[in-house]
Amino acid sequence: MNITKAQVDALNAIITIAITKEDYSDKVEKVLADYRKNAAISGFRKGAVPMSLIQKQYGKAVLLDEVNKILQASLNDYLTTEKLDILGNPLPKMTEDFNWDNENLSFEFELGLAPQFSVDLTAKNNVIKFNVIADDKMLNDQVERIQKQYGKLISQAEVKADYEVRGTFTNEEKGINAPANFALDIFADKKVAKSFVGKKVGDVVAVGTKGLFDDDHKLMDYLKVAHDDVHGLDITVDFTIEEINAVEKAELNQELFDKLFGPGVIASVEDLKAKIKEDAEAQFAQQADQKFLNDVTDFLIESTKFDLPETFLKKWIKTVTETPLTDEQAEEEFAKAEKGLRFQLIEGKVMAENNLQITFEDLKAHTAELIKKQMAQFGQLNPSEDEINGIVARVMSNQDEVKRLSEQVMSEKMLGLYKEKVKAKSKEVNYEQFIKEMYGE
Q: Which helix (H) or strand (E) holds 12?
A: strand 12-19
What are the tens digits of pLDDT across the range 166-183?
999 999 998 999 999 999
pLDDT at 97 > cutoff 80: no
Average pLDDT over residues 358-376: 90
8 A C-beta contact, residue 431 and residue 141: no
Share the mean pLDDT of the chain. 91
pLDDT at position 321 is: 81
86-92/152-155 β-pairing: unpaired
Task: Give the full edge-to-edge strand order of the sheet including 86-92.
Answer: 2-9, 12-19, 105-113, 86-92
Which segment of 29-38, 78-87, 100-109, 308-317 scores lowest on mean pLDDT? 29-38
Average pLDDT over residues 65-82: 93
Please give the backbone phi and psi of residue 61, each rounded to the nearest 5 degrees, phi first: -65, -40
pLDDT at position 29 is: 87
Please return the burial class of 228, using the count of CB atoms within 10 Å of its CB with bins 0-12, 13-18 and 19+: exposed
pLDDT at position 440 is: 64
pLDDT at 227 > cutoff 90: no
Residue 206's nearest CA partner among 169, 172, 173 is: 169
pLDDT at 49 > cutoff 80: no
pLDDT at position 305 is: 94
pLDDT at position 193 is: 93
pLDDT band at 46 (very low <50, low <70, confident <90, very high): confident
- What is the chain's percent helix, strand, coil content, to nearest 5? 50, 20, 30
The rounded distance, in Å, linking the Cα atoms of 137 and 179 is 27
The rounded distance, in Å, linking the Cα atoms of 102 and 100 is 5
% residues pLDDT > 70 (the chain): 99
Task: Write down all domains in the chain, each with its CATH number in brackets.
Answer: 2-113 (3.30.70.1050), 152-248 (3.10.50.30), 268-438 (1.10.3120)
pLDDT at 314 > cutoff 70: yes
Average pLDDT over residues 391-420: 93
The rounded distance, in Å, linking the Cα atoms of 121 and 312 is 30
Q: One-letter amino acid identity for 360? A: F
Half-sphere exposure at residue 278, Cβ-oriented, CA atoms within 13 angstroms = 7
Which segment of 57-66, 117-126, 268-277, 361-370 scores lowest on mean pLDDT? 57-66
pLDDT at position 217 is: 83
Q: Which residues pair with 152 in a beta bridge?
A: 248
Average pLDDT over residues 241-262: 93
Could you tell me the pTM of the whole model?
A: 0.75
pLDDT band at 323 (very low <50, low <70, confident <90, very high): confident
pLDDT at position 303 is: 93
pLDDT band at 439 (very low <50, low <70, confident <90, very high): confident
Which segment of 39-43, 166-170, 254-258 scores lowest on mean pLDDT? 39-43
pLDDT at 103 > cutoff 90: no
pLDDT at position 359 is: 92
Which segment of 62-76, 187-201, 221-235 scores lowest on mean pLDDT? 221-235
pLDDT band at 356 (very low <50, low <70, confident <90, very high): very high
Average pLDDT over residues 260-283: 93
pLDDT band at 441 (very low <50, low <70, confident <90, very high): low
% residues pLDDT > 90 (the chain): 70
Please give the backbone phi and psi of residue 92, each rounded to the nearest 5 degrees, phi first: -70, 135
pLDDT at 216 > cutoff 60: yes
